[in-house]
Amino acid sequence: MTTPPQTFQQKVYALAKQIPKGKVATYGQLAKMAGSPGASRAVGMCMKNNPDAKTIPCHRVVSSTGALTGYAFGGTSVKKEKLIKEGVAFSGDKANLTLSQWQSN
């Protein structure tokens, strides 16, 4: 019996679950890893519609500049608070991608 292929959304959520505390990934990075480079807006929609914020850490996904572009579970101030508590480095209001971007294997 073969397993049906994962949908784009399932791939994105599985990837987001792998981002460790203290690290962030960009929308574009997850899109590329999910096999759809250029689908960063679709990743954003996945994060916005996250069905389980306790197990899918959508707060760890940021823009390509490190900007916190949205957070459906309390706004960007809550997102920033969570990231700071986890040890993500910031430069002003942006996550410092040089120090905190997740490098997947």
- List the catalytic residues: 58
Residues 99 and 96: their CA atoms lie apart, in Å, by 6
SS3 101: strand
Residues 21 and 1: their CA atoms lie apart, in Å, by 36
Q: What is the DSSP secondary-structure string of 45-94?
A: HHHHT-S-TTTS-GGGEE-TTSB----TTT-HHHHHHHHHHHT--EETTE
Residue written as tokens 């890893």?
33
